[in-house]
A and B are shown apart, each in its own frame.
Chain A
Amino acid sequence: MSLDMKVDGKSKNRADDLAQGILGTPMDRPEGLLKVTGEALYAAEDLPGNCTFGMLVSAPAQGDVTLSNEAEIRDMPGVLAVIHDPRMVRNAAQGTMDEAPVQGVDHAAYAGQAVALVVAESFEAARHAAQSVKLGLSGEEGPIDPQAVETEESEGNRFVRGDLDKAMASAAHTVDAVYTTPSMTSAPMEPHAAVAWWDGDKVTVRASLQMLKYNRNELADCLGIDSENVRLLSPYVGGGFGSKLGISPEAVAAAIAARELGRPVRVVLHRRQMFEVVTRRSETRQHIRLAADGDGRLTGLGHEVLVSNLPDEPFSEPVTQGTHFAYPAENRLIRKEVARIHRPAAGSVRAPGEAVGVTTFEAAMDELACAAGMDPVELRLRNIPEKDPEQGIPFSSHMLEPTLREGAERFGWFDRDPELRARREGEWWIGTGMAAAFRVNILSEAQARVRLTAGGAVVETDQTDIGTGTYAILTQIAGELLGLPADKVETRLGDTDLPPGSGSGGSWGAASTGSAVWLAAMELRQRIADAMGCDEAELTLKDGQATCGNVTQPLEEILGGESLVGHGHVKPGDALEEVMQSTYGAHFAEVAVNDVTGETRVRRMLGCFAAGRILNEKTARSQCHGGMIWGIGMALTEGVTHDRRTGRMVNRDLAEYHVPVNADVPPLEVHFVEERDPWAGPMQAKGIGELGICGAGAAVLNAIHHACGVRIRDLPATPDKVLAGLLQ
């Protein structure tokens, strides 16, 4: 039996009528204690007996690869094998690719590509041997500068209507600006790691991955075997942020090596390889044009972008994704060009598209507010579309106005003096800035199983918890529907032997796999109601007791020693065509800019967000905190530097690639505006994992401008750039 649902229309609000009362609460993570005490074993920590250790060898430049001293390496103490296999992959697969990424390591397509694996009896021996490999690299090198090559247009992103040039020429207020953002990296705390072992024709890989059902097919395709013969285990993942969406070089190499050696092989990426062989966020060049009438209403908008990727990569940074639906403007010109260059592969990094696209667009909107002499919040309020500006369909819900108003109120926004350089404390210019946040909402196919016994319920799916709180929310969903406290629900994740969930990515994990768990538990409710002879809608389940009309019975009694198994399966449906679904929010930041040095410090930051039903108030808040901190990094410190001669990442470690540290992060405030989005599926919940980063950096950049009058369009706003502005 299975309860299937294709989300074609609106769902009823059932969750608010359920009795257990744990859904939405800030419940602690059930696995939290295991994590903070080190009991939760991550991929590289859970080693089978007789395990061997591999280290990937990175090519310092492009070229055809020869291993010059392979025999010498094989003779080094402890070395078991040097693997240089055509099935090894050039870079990690793109998210939901479901097939092998580009394979073959005879040619290094970019400086930093992993081209061989050395396996040894110890990690130290493998690392030293890998460092001792001498590579011969020859042949032509491809271009590395996205601005210096012919580009191809990405048709799917194009939208042209009216005449933007004419709109600009006749507008009361205009903005015409070019923004640039550098390559960025996910930098999860847990590096990519894989431990592979074979049993006959079957391979098991314990790995750090986000989307197991796709990763399983990707690995099988890489190895040329049936997916049935691949089992992946990712019970705990120490951060992903998109970098672990697709199968990556270490997992493929570990599986190949384990087969060859007949022993388990562990491969962990070096932190420097974390920058190079998994995907980066593409650098972008964004030409933004805005035309507005005297009231600040947009009459035209242009967003023309240049991004890059390696040849043969299907992904290109969807920078304009949010621009298509954010603001109404009759005249529109949205297009994207892709430069094929030989930097490390570009792929999804937290909020692909909106993270950089909304940030720059919201900075440009701030420029428009200044040009029009209008309050930036008011400018947004005047430009809220009534329906999707391009598709003409309604929004499932549109929460920008309530989040703007509540955020502005709580932040004390309207107390600001709109004048630039109006507030000074000693050497510091103080200013405030804001930005809107929006991120498309996506539902993805997912399945889950719930088994109910006298002892409680067990939730099972291959869904991953990448630190987001999946264990907690799936436990809450099952507990809510089945009337069980959290300690009577066990959630098992991250094993391809379990029903395929949606995977974690695109902010869709909670709402998608959560809906599958909902449906599985709903099926069980129906069967309990059947057993009691009533309608499911009349059934109340609470604390292990079932009530129908005047009859209350312990669940245990109804089960009579048996177990009930429910299976839920959710698929996206026509709802996607009928309405536009998005999450919304508003960011507010106060910064101090040092007049002597150009250093910027964020003094406080507030975000107000709406994403349908909030499933767990604590984990949702953590996601928003994380997103806002990413925004601080994007605005002030983060950027990969590519060597101009080789394209190699120069600052490829965490000492030189500057993510914000504690001292960079001020008190953060997060508020949720509760809503129920009936189009979002049975729980009426939307994704929130990425909303917090969308536009966050713009609030900081806009605050810098308000503080000291310096507009930074080349991110990040490091002291040298701000100082150059101050000196003008």
Chain B
Amino acid sequence: MRPFDYTRAENVSDACAAAFAPEAQFIAGGTNLVDLMKLEVMAPGELVDINRLGLDRIEESDGGLRVGATVTNSDLAADARIRQDYPVLSRALLAGASGQLRNKATTGGNLLQRTRCPYFYDTDSACNKRSPGAGCAAIGGETRNHAILGTSEHCIALHPSDMAVAMRALDARIEVQPQDGPAKAYEMDRFYCLPGDTPHIETVLEPGDLITSVWLPAPKGTRQVYRKVRDRASYAFALVSVAAVIEMEEGRISHASVAFGGLAPMPWRDVEVDALLAGAEPSADLFDEAADILLQGAQPQEGTEFKLPLARRALRAVLEEATL
């Protein structure tokens, strides 16, 4: 770990100003960042602690819920309104990490957690995310927890979050305070960036930008399912996960938003899948067609080919469960 300075910010504007400095980095729960600092995968010169900014509240707002950036994963999963109206989010949160980690990990931090690609974690390996232009050791190496959608020839890393997958299905908006200027809000598909030839750029955040909250609109479906497939029963990242928010009307799907984990560099959603499902009558053929659409552009590696049948079957099972 490289020596670093530490600042505890007292308010949002101070935090943004402090983080605008070169090599500065926000820290909230630190469950991912501290590990990465120990390994010198990340080596910020300054940490700006945002735990005392009062961003730890969940409030009803604009017909939905506004979740502060430092609300812990445990608190969010346990919140009665979340459990009642957004159960897919509560389940996704509880499917992630371990109890100890969830007690520390925060909403904003979870959105920004880094990939678990082992070559990213190994500073002896080539990684375009860590050192732009260095190459990608994962391609042609040992792949398992890697992406099959949205990848590029420069990076096949996966976004590891469970929480973000559920938020994507819930049409969450990420609210950001820039270092200068008014607050902004991003739909999740506008927030994350695909690797392309700049895998080191993972989000639209600029230096000094602080995620202050996530706004969840009123849920568009009451049938909510989160399913995570993993190597062990707990404390393992998703091989594939599916979050579905579905509404049924007279035997037909009136609303569908389906998001995926374990498949892509960002919590994945395919508008064509949602469009196919909306208005349709549930059937095995329909769900298979949805899987066809989802996976049509997939580019698996040798070690990730299993995700094709697995994603198909998980999607089918989730849709069956949600439309029963």
Chain A interface (Cβ within 8 Å of chain B)? 60-61, 77, 124, 127-128, 131, 427, 596-599, 601, 636-637, 641-645, 648, 650-651, 653, 655-656, 658, 660-664, 718-720, 723-724, 727
Contacts and interface: CB of A to CB of B under 8 A. Distances in A.
Contacts of B144: 641
A601 B310 contact: no
Contacts of A648: 122, 124
A225 to B, nearest CB: 35
Interface string B276-299: 000000000000000000000000
Contacts of A727: 309
Nearest to B240: A597
Contact of B310 (A597, A656, A664): A597
A661 B142 contact: no
Contacts of B1: 124, 127-128, 131
Contacts of B135: none
Q: Which of B3, B98, B233, B314 has the most CB of A within 10 A?
A: B233
A636 B232 contact: yes
Contacts of A658: 231-232, 236
A316 B180 CA distance: 64
Given A127-B1, A645-B140, A720-B239, A663 B314 contact: no
A650 B123 contact: no
A643 B142 contact: yes
Given A596-B314, A650-B141, A661 B232 contact: yes
B118 A723 contact: no
Contacts of B309: 723, 727
Contacts of B141: 643-645, 650
B8 interface: no
A661 B40 CA distance: 28
Interface string B96-118: 00100000000000000000101
Nearest to A654: B235
Interface string B1-31: 1110000000000000000000000000000
A305 B220 CA distance: 59
- 10 smallest beta-carbon distances between A and B, as pairs: A60-B124, A720-B306, A663-B233, A663-B234, A597-B229, A596-B317, A650-B142, A650-B118, A664-B233, A641-B142
Interface in B210-249: 229-236, 239-240
A656 B119 CA distance: 12
B313 interface: yes
Nearest to B2: A128
B233 to A, nearest CB: 4
A427 B320 CA distance: 12
18 contacts: A60-B122, A128-B2, A128-B3, A597-B240, A597-B313, A637-B232, A642-B142, A650-B119, A655-B235, A656-B145, A658-B231, A658-B232, A660-B232, A663-B232, A663-B234, A719-B239, A720-B310, A723-B306
A727 B309 CA distance: 9
Nearest to A598: B310
Contacts of B317: 427, 596-597
In this complex, the interface size class of chain B, counting residues with CB under 8 Å from chain A, is: 35 or more
Nearest to B234: A663
Given A131-B39, A644-B142, A720-B239, 9 more contacts: A128-B2, A596-B314, A597-B317, A643-B142, A650-B141, A650-B142, A656-B118, A661-B233, A724-B306
Contacts of A131: 1, 39-40, 123
A599 B118 contact: no
B271 to A, nearest CB: 25
Contacts of B235: 655, 661, 663
A650 B119 CA distance: 8
Q: Which of A77, A124, A655, A662 has the most CB of B within 10 A?
A: A655
Contacts of B3: 77, 124, 128
Contacts of A642: 142
Contact of B234 (A128, A597, A664): A664
Nearest to B305: A720
A599 B234 contact: no
A644 B309 CA distance: 25
Nearest to A666: B233
A145 to B, nearest CB: 13
A651 B141 CA distance: 12
Contacts of A124: 1, 3
Interface in B131-190: 140-142, 144-145
A645 B135 CA distance: 15
B240 to A, nearest CB: 8
B135 to A, nearest CB: 12
Q: Which of B125, B141, B231, B232 has the most CB of A within 10 A?
A: B232
Contacts of B116: 655-656
B218 to A, nearest CB: 31
Contacts of A663: 232-235
A242 B145 CA distance: 30
Interface in B297-324: 306, 309-310, 313-314, 316-317
Interface in B58-89: none
B314 A718 contact: no
